[in-house]
A and B are shown apart, each in its own frame.
Chain A
Amino acid sequence: MSFDERIGEIISLSEAMRLNVLIWGPGKSAEEQHAKREKIRQQITHAFINADVRFSEDLENKIPGSKDLTLPEQELLHLAACDICLVLDVSKGAGEEIAHFIGSGFGHKLVILTHERYKDATSFPAALRKYENQLFFNDDEYEHCYLVERILYRIRLLAIGKLGRLFL
C-alpha cells in the first residue's frame, strides 16, 4: 500500500468520525438565514457521514433536568458537549450574546461567521480574530458555496486532529 493510499484512509476515517457539531444562528423567522443554516447542516452531514449536526433550538429543554436552567446555561451545556460550534452572525449584535461564552473554557470551540461589513464592530474580543475563531465572509461567499467549503475545511482539520489525538 502506497503512502497516498494511507492518506486516503486517513481522509476516509476523518469523514466517518463521530462529531458533534452545533450551529447557532437566526431562527425560522429569518427565513433566508435559517435556510442557510439548513444548507450548512446538510453539507456537513453529506461530507461527514457520522456527524451529529444540531441547531441550538433542537436541543432546547431536551437534556434531562435542563428545564430548570436558563437559556444561556443550556447553551453552555450544549457548547461543552459539542466538538465545534458554528455561529452564523449575520446581523449587527446578533452574536453579542455569545461573547460571554468565550471565557467559559469552551471558547476555542466557537467559529463565528461574521459578514465582513461588521469587521469594525467590537462585539467580540480581538483574541477571537487573532486565533481565527471569527471568520469573515462577503456576499459572494455567502451566496455561493465558498462559505460552506471553508466550514467543511475547518471541520476536516478538527477531524484529522482528533485522529492524531491533537484534540482530545
Chain B
Amino acid sequence: MPTPSSGDSTQLLLAWKSGDQSALNKLIPLVENELHRVADSLLRRDRPRHELQATALVNEAYLRLIDAPQIEWQSRAHFFAIAARVMRRILLDYTRSNLRSKRGGAEHILLISPALPTEKAVELLALDEALKRLSKLDERKSKVMELRYFGGLTAKETASVLNLSEATVFREWKFARAWLLRAMEKPSELPKEEFEVTTVTEDTERTLAEAWSNRELVATLMSENWAGLKLLVQLRLSPNVGAGELTSILGTHTSIVASLLLKLAQFGALEERNNIFTLTNRGAAMLENLEKAIGKIFYE
C-alpha cells in the first residue's frame, strides 16, 4: 500500500475545515498510525505502555477534534501538534478528576482507565502548571516544548508549525527544558537532552591546550613587530649568543628580549638550560616550514 504523503493529509484537513465531512473519514486512516505513536509517547511517560489505553486516548481525541471545527489547520504537522495537545488535555482532565475522586470528590468518567499513581499524577499536573507559567513568560518557548515533548514532533516539524528555523527550535527547546527543570525540580519528568553538554575530558583539554599553545607561539613570533621571529632566527644563527647581544641585535629593551625568550620557551620553540636558550626541534621545524613557504631562508 502506498504511504500517504503529507500533501494528501493536508488537502484532506483543508477540505474538512471547509465543511466536507467525508474528508474526515478519508483522513483518519491516513493519520491513525501517527496518532497512535503520539498517544503511546504520551502514555509511556505516565505509565507502562498498554495498547487499549492508547486506542482509547486516540478515540477520545477524535471526538474532541471533530467538535473543534473552528481550528485553522495549517498542515499535517499542525494537525498532529493540535492532536497531541488535545490528548494531553484529556490525560490532564483525567488526572485531575482521578485526584478529586481519591479526595472524595465527584468522579468524572473518561474512556481511559486505570488510575495513575497519585505521586505521578501530581507531577504531571505540576508540569502542566510550569508549562502555563512558561507560556506567560515566553510563549514561543512554551510552544516548542509542547510540540516537541508532548506532541512528539521532530525539530523540523516543530520549525515548520511555528515558522521558525530549526536552529531556533533547538535553542528554544534547550532553554525551555532548563527552565522547566528549575521550575519543577523534577528532572526525571523531563525529556533527555538532545544535545548532551559534554564535560571536558583529558583528551579534549589536551587538544584545546595544544591549539592555544600553537596560537600563542605565533602571537609571540609576531609580537614587538616580529621581534619574536627575529630572535628565533638569531638563535639559530648563533646558538650561544647572550641576552645582552640579542638586545643589541634586535634593537630593543632587555626586558622585551627576556619576555620573548621566556614565552618562546613556554610555547615549545626554545629550551633553556643554565640560562642558555637553544632552539627545540619544534622551533627549528617551524622556521624551516616558514622558509619553505616563502622559498627563501631568513638570512642569506
Contacts of B293 in A (CB 8 A): 10, 13, 163-164
What's the Cα separation between A57 and B165 when bound, in Å?
A: 9
Closest to B217 in A: A166
- Can you list, as one digit per residue, whether each of B176-205 has a CB less than 8 Å from chain A (1) or not (0)? 001000000000000000111111110111
CB distance from B182 to the nearest CB of A (A): 13
Contacts of A133 in B (CB 8 A): 208, 212
Identify whether the interface residues of A are mostly helix, strand, loop, or mixed.
Answer: helix
Known A3-B299, A108-B210: A103·B168 in contact at CB below 8 Å: no
Please tell me if B215 contacts chain A, counting CB pairs below 8 Å: yes
Closest to A161 in B: B218
The answer to whether B211 and A108 touch across the interface, beta carbons within 8 angstroms, is: yes
| Residue tally, chain B, CB below 8 Å to A | 49
CB distance from A2 to the nearest CB of B (A): 10
The answer to whether A127 and B215 touch across the interface, beta carbons within 8 angstroms, is: no
Contact residues of A between 1 and 47, Cβ < 8 Å to B = 1, 3-4, 6-7, 9-10, 13, 27, 29
What's the Cα separation between A132 and B219 when bound, in Å?
A: 13
CB distance from B21 to the nearest CB of A (A): 38
Closest to B287 in A: A164
Known A27-B167, A93-B171, A107-B208: A164·B286 in contact at CB below 8 Å: yes
What's the Cα separation between A13 and B178 when bound, in Å?
A: 47
Contact residues of B between 192 and 242, Cβ < 8 Å to A = 194-201, 203-205, 207-212, 214-215, 217-219, 221-222, 226, 229-230, 233
Please tell me if A71 contacts chain B, counting CB pairs below 8 Å: yes
Q: How large is the interface on A (under 10, 10 to 19, 20 to 34, 35 or more residues)?
A: 35 or more
Identify whether the interface residues of B are mostly helix, strand, loop, or mixed.
Answer: helix
Known A72-B195, A96-B171, A166-B214: A103·B299 in contact at CB below 8 Å: no
The answer to whether B219 and A165 touch across the interface, beta carbons within 8 angstroms, is: no
What's the Cα separation between A97 and B212 when bound, in Å?
A: 23
Contacts of A10 in B (CB 8 A): 290, 293-294
Please tell me if B37 contacts chain A, counting CB pairs below 8 Å: no
What's the Cα separation between A35 and B25 when bound, in Å?
A: 49
The answer to whether A107 and B207 touch across the interface, beta carbons within 8 angstroms, is: yes
Contacts of B199 in A (CB 8 A): 103, 125
The answer to whether A165 and B207 touch across the interface, beta carbons within 8 angstroms, is: no
- Can you list, as one digit per residue, whether each of A96-128 has a CB less than 8 Å from chain B (1) or not (0)? 110110111101110000000000000001011
Q: Pick from A92, A107, A160, A161: contact of B204, CB below 8 A.
A: A107
| Most chain B C-beta atoms within 10 Å of own C-beta, residue among A3, A97, A104 | A97
Q: Pick from A56, A71, A131: contact of B208, CB below 8 A.
A: A131
The answer to whether B289 and A56 touch across the interface, beta carbons within 8 angstroms, is: no
The answer to whether A71 and B195 touch across the interface, beta carbons within 8 angstroms, is: no
In addition to A107-B204, A164-B218, 7 A-B residue pairs with Cβ atoms within 8 Å of each other are A7-B226, A10-B294, A27-B167, A71-B166, A157-B219, A158-B215, A164-B293
